Chains A and B, each alone.
Chain A
């Protein structure tokens, strides 16, 4: 199993550009989520999904869109990048979530810089 994969590893954007961060998992996990990590801010939840076709907002959803058309993939879209979105983005997946939460497996991250 490859686990959770993220592409690209690094990306530089100009303000106003759009892009999609890719996330895929091959563990047949129902739950997937996106976090951003900023210095001094820890990991903050952006969006999450409890299964194909179901997504919901996390703590910091503004400026980001997600969709979940398959169990395996959970892309994160930046519609109009802003310097405040400069961060390291992590995708994670687990068999389920809520209650006695299953362990989340994290991808290696995408380091995004917005100029």
Chain B
């Protein structure tokens, strides 16, 4: 049973436009959420996170929104740049639980 779902395997966005990557979760105990970015032949790298006490967290071009009632979060990238082409993983964890669970990832293509 998938606890963290990224239902879009891939997404193509024009350079300069907004990229929106979505993530849904089923475990209501999750209270901390992270986004990781992965280039081919490299390990994932941390991008941005949000705790359940917030509904928005911003870091430069990256903003994560959390809707707890819908068990949904999204990552917005504005403006999208060629270097943003990568696989993006959503991850979640619960307080007092040491497991960090990842989704299947979304491959983002930034088109010139």
- The docked-state distance in angstroms from the alpha carbon of A58 to that of B99 is 7
Closest A residue to B53 by beta carbon equals A100
Once A58-B99, A97-B98 are accepted as A-B contacts, the answer to whether A42 and B6 lie under 8 Å apart by CB is: yes
Assess whether B78 is interfacial by the CB under 8 Å rule. no
Q: Is the CB of B93 within 8 A of A4?
A: no
Q: Is the Cβ of B43 less than 8 Å from the Cβ of A97?
A: no
Q: How far is the CA of A41 from the CA of B2 in the complex (A)?
A: 10
In-complex Cβ contact of B94 among A41, A42, A98 (8 A): A98
> Are B102 and A99 in touch, CB under 8 angstroms?
no
Q: Mark A56-78, 1 if CB is under 8 A from B, else 0.
A: 10110000000000000000000
7 closest cross-chain pairs (CB), A and B? A106-B43, A42-B104, A43-B102, A99-B95, A103-B46, A97-B98, A98-B98
Q: Using A31-B98, A98-B98, A108-B43 as known contacts, list a sample of 5 further A-B pairs with CB atoms less than 8 Å apart, ordered by residue number in A.
A: A43-B105, A99-B31, A99-B94, A100-B32, A108-B42
